[in-house]
């Protein structure tokens, strides 16, 4: 029996044993996870619940985005569901704690996602069945139909509900502690400190590249520590065993997996029946990524039938037939080293290899048979490709964009994928500036939709003032690569004129660019993987499912039925999430789309909110409300109208100036929130409305797919204007007056 199937059934057997124990206990009248009728004020409890909320959000977002591809493709979907669950918990602050439901949802999610079946089952196809069409680029797309959509929507709603229910008791605990605090603003500051600690600890977990059994196990341990009864803690501790079994991935010398700060990597070594050579396959997030190939002349002589095409016509060697002899080479997206090895084989005198993922680099150093990264001619740069292009002053004979199509988001708080800013007009202009007089820009890309090749070709035409050469290069070890070649000089034409074999190859495989050309991608609209400036049907489908769930759950709460959430706190939540995504996306241009930058930016935002809370807590630092509102809108106007792309100085200096500029509206938005939060009758209701607003703001971030990112600042300003109108309509619901009542059992 397959080892994964065996461990799955062992986990199920363990869960059945615990279920029998719980059933027997209930029959005896002593049920586990008895919710508290009255919760005591506890700073430790508030800190732990706050820490666990952010840590669990990041853990589930990272895990499920790998296991269920729909969460990776469609922006901040998992984040919004976590927010929704937490906000629901805030609304249920005076109800019984729903720990049993959360634990059941936790385990059900693990069981559903880790079913030991083929990767092609329904979960894998959710992103397609929910509405994929030819206007959005996702792998393994299929035709849309109502039958597929309805079945996928039901399954997606099940997944969404499970993720929501996990966070309900955390929202209940945090919001109840805020209501019990004599000084709500100070308690909110402790909540932010706990959240900041959760982010920093998860950054450490990511840096150590620990597997999901560790981070999700930490979430379960946190659940246990929040229980009052000792026996409840014991039961949750026992659940660590099935959790580890369900998340276990068997490993051997020839097949193992690991989690990088960006993605999951699977490595598989396949030996030929004769044992004469091996084939090394690399999978990213359960999708084929790269074959590590040995194309050295000695190896090909030993195995003459291995590569069907001529060695100098395979996609790795082809770029160097266009470059000058002994070129200086920049490789963007170096991966495990195939392109680097090709550069060395073809006489590259100096090779700068840029790769964002440290684990992929490590894998290449360890497993690549030609060991290209050990060469003294190779300098490795562990950074974002766009950041390197901005900072380097070197000139190159060949700038090579490898198959750098990630389909992986770099942030759980924005809609950027880690390669979005690499394929923009501004990026290609920066690459052009790095070329010598006879330099060549060579791009390889896997094209699944005709409009993608037209977009890339048009961007290069606008950048270089002439159309690029576009042709396909077949390969014996991967899908054909579409190649785009262009030079600011007449280098391409000269090479083709004196190399008839190359000219014949290009002519045989030339790509037609007939058809309508989609808009080019820019730093303001960097959505490479969608055809037009519109919101794809799949995004609308998912947004509709989330809204139905949000309002359906909201109206099920008796206290909320027929009553709208606070206008001020709702709009502050929506505006702040949009502002937050603006900060992350803008700073990614200067510091790169690396996971460290993402974590640092989020941490800095929390620190800015803490600073605002401190200013409000101690009145000698506090500003009048009218001053705060004025400063907020002045900061937003400056962020919108100032030409940030022309910020002076080096990328680091320019990025710092942009960060300071955006810190102004962040600080004053947080100050306005703190000023009103300090006076609210019910901190839990305020926090719940704020989180619900953040969900709406996250959905409206999709507007940038039509308008571009800069225009989102106008939407942000609109939400803050509505929030200011809400200041004139304080709601006196008296929820705080009920804080001493016993919570009814649910």
3-class secondary structure per residue, 666-695: HHHHHHHHHHHHCCCCCHHHHHHHHHHHHH
* Residue 632 banded pLDDT, cuts 50, 70, 90: very high
Provide the pLDDT confidence category of residue 622 given band limits of 50, 70 and 90: low
Structure letter (DSSP) for residue 531 = S
Both tokens assigned to 220: 């379960």
Interatomic CA distance for residues 481 and 445, integer angstroms: 6
Q: How confident is the model at residue 725 (pLDDT cuts 50, 70, 90)?
A: confident
Residue pair 640/524 in contact by the 8 Å Cβ criterion: no
Percent of the chain past pLDDT 70, that is, above it, reads 82
pLDDT greater than 90 at residue 159: no
- When pLDDT is averaged across residues 314-321 and rounded to a whole number, the result is 90
Residue 617 has pLDDT above 90, yes or no: no
pLDDT exceeds cutoff 70 at 138: no
In this predicted structure, the answer to whether residue 327 has a pLDDT above a threshold of 90 is yes
6-15, 107-116, 592-601, 704-713: least confident range: 592-601
Do residues 629 and 575 touch, judged by C-beta distance below 8 A?
Answer: no
Q: With a cut of 50, say whether residue 416 has pLDDT above it.
A: no
Which pTM does this prediction carry? 0.83
Extended beta strands in 141-220, E state: none
Q: pLDDT by residue (tens digit) across 545-557?
A: 788 877 777 776 6
Q: Enter the DSSP assignment of 645.
A: G
CB-count exposure of residue 728 (10 Å: 0-12, 13-18, 19+): exposed
Give the model's confidence band at 565: pLDDT under 50 very low, under 70 low, under 90 confident, else very high.
Answer: confident
The burial class, CB within 10 Å (0-12 / 13-18 / 19+), for 711 is middle
Which residues have a Cβ under 8 Å from the Cβ of 92 and sit 6 or more positions away? 98, 168, 171, 172, 557, 746
Q: What is the pLDDT at residue 220? A: 93
Give the whole-angstrom CA distance, residue 279 versus residue 293: 7
* Residue from 342, 374, 334, 376 nearest 358 by CA: 334
The pLDDT value recorded for residue 328 is: 95
- Crossing angle of the two packed helices 537-554 and 683-700, in degrees rounded to 10: 160
CA angle 498–503–508, rounded 5-degree value:
170
CB atoms < 10 A from the CB of 266, how many? 18
With a CB cutoff of 8 Å and minimum separation 6, the contacts of 412 are 57, 58, 61, 62, 65, 76, 78, 79
Q: Mean of the pLDDT values across residues 401-412?
A: 54
d(CA 466, CA 290): 32
Mean pLDDT of the chain: 80
Among 254, 251, 264, which Cα is nearest to 215's? Answer: 264
Say how many Å lie between the first and final Cα of the chain, rounded: 43
Integer Cα distance of 257 and 211 in angstroms: 9
Cα–Cα nearest to 658, from 734, 591, 597: 591
pLDDT at 537 over 80: no
- Assess whether pLDDT exceeds 70 at residue 684: yes
What pLDDT is recorded for position 379?
A: 95
Domains in the chain, start-ordered, CATH in brackets? 3-23+62-250+527-738 (1.20.1250), 306-407+425-508 (3.40.50.150)
- Strands 481-486, 469-473: parallel, antiparallel or unpaired by DSSP? antiparallel
Cβ neighbours for 41, distance < 8 A, ≥ 6 positions apart? 177, 180, 181
Place of tokens 């440290």: 358
Q: What mean pLDDT comes out for the span 395-424?
A: 66
**Of 451, 350, 448, 343, residue with least CA distance to 400:** 343
What does the alpha-carbon distance between residue 121 and residue 130 come to, in Å, rounded to a whole number? 14
Asked if pLDDT for residue 3 goes beyond 70, the answer is no
**CA angle at 491 for the pair 490 and 492, rounded to the nearest 5°:** 95
Q: Which helix (H) or strand (E) holds 330?
A: strand 328-332
Mean pLDDT of 667-672: 89
pLDDT band at residue 26 using 50, 70 and 90 as cut-offs: low
What is the number of alpha carbons within 13 Å of residue 201 lying toward its C-beta?
A: 20
Among 10-14, 56-60, 491-495, the range scoring the smallest mean pLDDT is 10-14
- Contact by Cβ (8 Å): 712, 579: no
- Band the pLDDT of 445: cuts 50, 70, 90: confident
Question: What is the spatial distance between Cα 392 and Cα 525, in angstroms, rounded to a whole number?
Answer: 24
Q: What is the pLDDT of residues 47-88, one digit of tens each?
A: 999 999 999 988 888 888 788 777 766 657 778 888 888 888
């Amino acid at each position: 029996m397959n080892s994964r199937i065996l461990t799955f059934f062992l986990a199920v057997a363990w869960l059945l044993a615990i279920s029998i124990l719980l059933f027997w206990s209930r029959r005896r009248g002593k049920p586990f996870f008895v919710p508290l009728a009255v919760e005591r004020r506890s700073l430790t409890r508030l800190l732990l619940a706050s820490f666990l909320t952010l840590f669990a959000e990041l853990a589930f977002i990272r895990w499920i985005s790998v296991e269920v591809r729909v969460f990776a493709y469609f922006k901040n979907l998992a984040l919004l569901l976590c927010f929704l669950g937490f906000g629901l918990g805030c609304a249920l602050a005076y109800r019984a704690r729903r720990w049993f439901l959360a634990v059941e949802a936790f385990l059900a999610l693990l069981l559903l996602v880790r079913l030991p079946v083929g990767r092609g089952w329904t979960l894998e196809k959710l992103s397609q069945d929910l509405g994929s069409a030819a206007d959005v680029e996702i792998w393994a797309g299929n035709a849309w139909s109502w039958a597929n959509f309805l079945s996928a929507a039901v399954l997606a709603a099940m997944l969404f509900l499970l993720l929501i229910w996990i966070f309900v008791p955390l929202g209940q605990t945090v919001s109840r502690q805020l209501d019990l605090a004599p000084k709500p603003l100070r308690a909110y500051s402790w909540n932010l400190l706990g959240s900041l600690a959760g982010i920093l600890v998860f950054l450490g977990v990511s840096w150590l590249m620990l597997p999901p059994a560790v981070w999700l196990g930490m979430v379960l341990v946190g659940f246990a520590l929040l229980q009052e009864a000792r026996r409840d803690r014991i039961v949750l501790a026992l659940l660590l065993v099935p959790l580890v079994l369900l998340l276990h991935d068997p490993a051997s010398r020839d097949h193992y997996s690991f989690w990088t700060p960006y993605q999951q990597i699977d490595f598989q070594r396949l030996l030929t029946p004769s044992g004469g050579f091996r084939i090394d396959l690399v999978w990213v997030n359960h999708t084929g990524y790269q074959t590590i190939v040995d194309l050295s002349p000695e190896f090909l002589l030993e195995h003459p039938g291995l590569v069907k095409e001529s060695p100098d016509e395979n996609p790795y060697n082809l770029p160097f037939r266009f470059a000058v002899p002994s070129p200086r080479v920049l490789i963007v997206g170096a991966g495990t080293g195939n392109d680097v090895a090709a550069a060395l084989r073809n006489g590259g005198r100096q090779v700068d290899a840029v790769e964002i993922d440290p684990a992929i680099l490590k894998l290449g150093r360890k497993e690549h048979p030609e060991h290209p990264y050990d060469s003294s001619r190779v300098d490795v740069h562990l950074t974002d490709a766009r950041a390197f292009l901005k900072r380097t002053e070197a000139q190159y004979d060949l700038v090579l964009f490898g198959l750098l199509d990630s389909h992986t988001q770099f942030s759980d708080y924005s809609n950027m994928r880690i390669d979005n800013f690499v394929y923009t007009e501004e990026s290609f202009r920066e690459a052009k500036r790095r070329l010598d007089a006879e330099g060549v820009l060579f791009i390889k890309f896997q094209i699944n939709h005709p409009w993608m090749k037209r977009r890339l070709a048009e961007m290069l035409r606008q950048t270089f003032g002439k159309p690029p050469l576009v042709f396909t290069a077949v390969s014996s070890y991967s899908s054909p690569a579409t190649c785009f070649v262009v030079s600011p000089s007449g280098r391409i034409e000269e090479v083709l004129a004196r190399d008839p074999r190359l000219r014949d190859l290009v002519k045989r495989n030339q790509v037609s660019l007939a058809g309508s050309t989609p808009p080019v991608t820019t730093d303001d609209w960097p959505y490479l993987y969608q055809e037009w400036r519109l919101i794809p049907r799949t995004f609308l489908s998912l947004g509709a499912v989330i809204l139905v769930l949000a309002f359906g759950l909201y109206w099920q709460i008796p206290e909320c039925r027929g009553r709208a959430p606070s206008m001020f706190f709702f709009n502050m939540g929506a505006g702040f999430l949009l502002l937050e995504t603006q900060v992350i996306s803008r700073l990614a241009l200067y510091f790169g789309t690396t996971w460290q930058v993402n974590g640092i930016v989020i941490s800095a935002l929390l620190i800015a909110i803490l600073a605002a809370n401190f200013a409000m807590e101690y009145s000698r630092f506090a500003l009048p409300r009218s001053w705060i509102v004025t400063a907020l809108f002045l900061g937003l106007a400056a962020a919108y109208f100032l030409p940030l792309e022309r910020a002076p100085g080096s990328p680091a200096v320019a990025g710092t100036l942009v960060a300071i500029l955006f810190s102004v509206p962040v600080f004053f938005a947080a100050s306005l929130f703190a000023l009103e939060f300090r006076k609210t009758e019910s901190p839990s209701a305020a926090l719940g409305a704020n989180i619900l607003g953040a969900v709406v703001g996250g959905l409206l971030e999709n507007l940038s797919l039509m308008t571009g990112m800069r225009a989102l600042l106008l939407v942000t300003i609109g939400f803050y204007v509505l929030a200011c109108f809400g200041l004139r309509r304080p709601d006196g619901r008296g929820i705080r007056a009920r804080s001493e009542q016993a919570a009814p059992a649910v």
